[in-house]
Structure 1
Amino acid sequence: MSLMLIVQARQDIFMLTRPKIYNLRIVPPEPVYTDVTDFKKVFIEHYGKQPLSASKPHITLAVFQMLPYCQDTLVKTFDSLSEVPEFRLEVKSFGVFDGSAKVLLLKIPMSETMGQLHMQIRILWERDLHRKKNTLIVPSIPHMTISKVKDAAILYKALERFQNTPYYASFLVDHLVLTARPPSKTWDWSHKISLKSE
């Protein structure tokens, strides 16, 4: 066995034994996707590039860590969400999180369907994947991030600017996306989960 193959094999083993960060998300369809991308560009033009200002538009349903060799099991487990019927979501104006995480965002009103989806994700996590409840992060306030900021003054200037542009949209959620990345890297894997059409 050549030295190159040995080095590659060691790298492969190392990658399989380091947890990846997974994100189960809703990706909005057009034209909402482009609208949110444009809002992010406007933010960058006025306030500079900030954390998450260049991220792709999405609504996070769950975040967790898992070893990559479990990925096939994850896919099989979360594919059971394909029994969830398609549903509509609304995007209603701009808002902020102003605690330790300062975030400019688009508000997504919590609906009964979103609440049920969160519950199903938690059940799959504990019952089917046999994971502890506290190792799954399910955001309690649905939203789409425009950008994180470090300075509260910038956060409120940005909110004032964006609130001058009222925004409302409604779209059909017909699939979910499971994505993964190594820590401190970009998303390098994704899997689409189609929802049940009515």
Structure 2
Amino acid sequence: MVGSVSTVPLPVPLPRRPLDPADRVRHWYENELGWATAPGAPVRLVVGRRFDVLDLPLEAGRAVLRRLGPESVVAVQGDRMRLPVAAGSAEELPGLLQWLEWGALDLDLVALGAGTLMDAPSPPGAGRPGGGRRGPRGAAVWLRPPVPGREVEASLPALSALGGGGGAPDLVRLVSTAATECHRLRLRRACPPPSVLP
């Protein structure tokens, strides 16, 4: 048959699936903020590249929060507050605590730096699967989220010699305040107020 055309059916593409909520979260961090995420689920942020994190008890963190500027980035997960600070700050924490004369106490104040991961809070305005507006119990949430388009790292607390600037609080002052509040919390837990007899 001259001139006949073969009629092999073309494959029909499968319908597109909507983005998984984890994919939306990952996209926001990687494309909007430029922050690295670790593969897999749940979405976790790679700490130590663009920022480090001071991790302290939420109760102590509330007092610290009152001393931070309104542009400070703050996350909470369970009973812990996470304060992003300039990359490299985790390496400075032990020396700073020693210099501030807090080195001998167990303050429950730790720094997460290179080689660590942090659960990624849902981006602002994103639904939180499984838990309504607040998300599942213990899920990471932003109290003060980073703002895409603004250089987040420039506003993170840093040692004065390492950068920071603008309205960023000084890392030494932040660590001093955090250590003081962690110690106060430790004392309150160790020595509860005496009960008043009727």
TM-score, normalising length: structure 1: 0.25
Greater radius of gyration (CA): 2
Q: Which has the higher contact order (CA 8 A, sep 6+)?
A: 1
TM-score, normalising length: structure 2: 0.25
> Which structure features the higher share of helix residues?
1
